[in-house]
Structure 1
């Protein structure tokens, strides 16, 4: 199996890792989960973090084939549209984005012209669809549970797990967003654990348990043995109990309102209104659209 090269970029404000992964032979690359900077106080967007990634790609003389998202993120603003504009490539996400778009189109009462059909992205990956990054074989593995649209990207010997797994001492991501399910996440992770144990695992977030330094790379073997939520052979029932109880204590991510509205559009803002300005909406006194209202055992899997 070919081993791609991987470079990470950390957005400290949201503890988010973006990745450039490339075939060292052809210099063809994919960008995964890029980030825009957003100031919640002023509503200002800027591209400082994405520009660092873009400079690296240009300095390394890489050709971007794919600009990928693991899901429609709720905790940071995606930079995919900007990265594509600067570097080219096709934007891609899992086919489940349609369901997420429809849900939040209704919550935010988005403009009539917004199409909840995934067409904001250039490619919607089917379950287990294969593709290539240069000469490196890749596969989009469905990994729902955190969200219903979540996919992991297995590129050569590298696995980009998005929000399904954190570092082993961080456990797993929450499952109380619309379409989320702890039971489904457990089953998705067990499928990822079927990959070769030496597979490199790259996480999307690291919240530095105990105040340690940031970390973003582990292996399937380390996750299977040591992940504090699903490692060591923990049962599905035990995981669902642990995850559900923990999720009940969590508040909403700080940037969920601007993030979701932009990210379901592949990192693009809403159309300019008659005064030439673009907006994000803030629903008042409304939370049901943002968190799971069903009990986990009632969610179809």
Structure 2
């Protein structure tokens, strides 16, 4: 009988160990994946490097797709962050679903993707037209953001005097007649990096399969400088000193309106700082997000 009691006691101890282990087993880290997310009105193609790092989400320009971040992936993953980028609705490999609500808003597409990935809070980086979405998202869902980076962008601001400034900087139709690489890559980069320029052009072509046009998505907000004054998210602004869309005086307009914004002007860079000066871009963004 005594032997039986000892055996039973041992069995209960082993069982309790198993229950304790089961209760305290760590949650599995998110797996790396590159696939579609079925969202309202669109199948959104995204890349997620997975892992336990703090997420950083990247929004591409109107001339790009998630492929354009090839210089950022190793830098951010190597620094321990979880890298996420996607093809915005109508770009790259994302597919519009005509049966769904169209055209939707970029901010709501981002919110739906973050919900799909069960993402709580994250850093958001937008370049050029991708920064329009980033600003709209910061105004719509500020509780989801750890920080905001706005790169090389006019921000989608609709104040008439600002629009008139843009018309003086980029006169029509002459400006639109320039090739995309001339508009968006600075002369220093094009002169010194013919192979990088060729690769950028290749990615620009891939961003619009078979010449498809992306939908003209509306914004949740009509963006104005007075509205930008209400942003309460840590913000970094950066641009290139040779940016034909958002030259340094434009960056200063945003820096004067967004509370506490930090700013950086990158020398010898055009409208694609992330591509032309990736080392400077990556270091500046990494230093910033680490603080928040």
TM-score, with normalisation over the residues of structure 1? Answer: 0.30
Q: Is the strand fraction higher in 1 or 2?
A: 1
Larger Rg: 2
Instruction: Give TM-score scaled by structure 2 length.
Output: 0.31
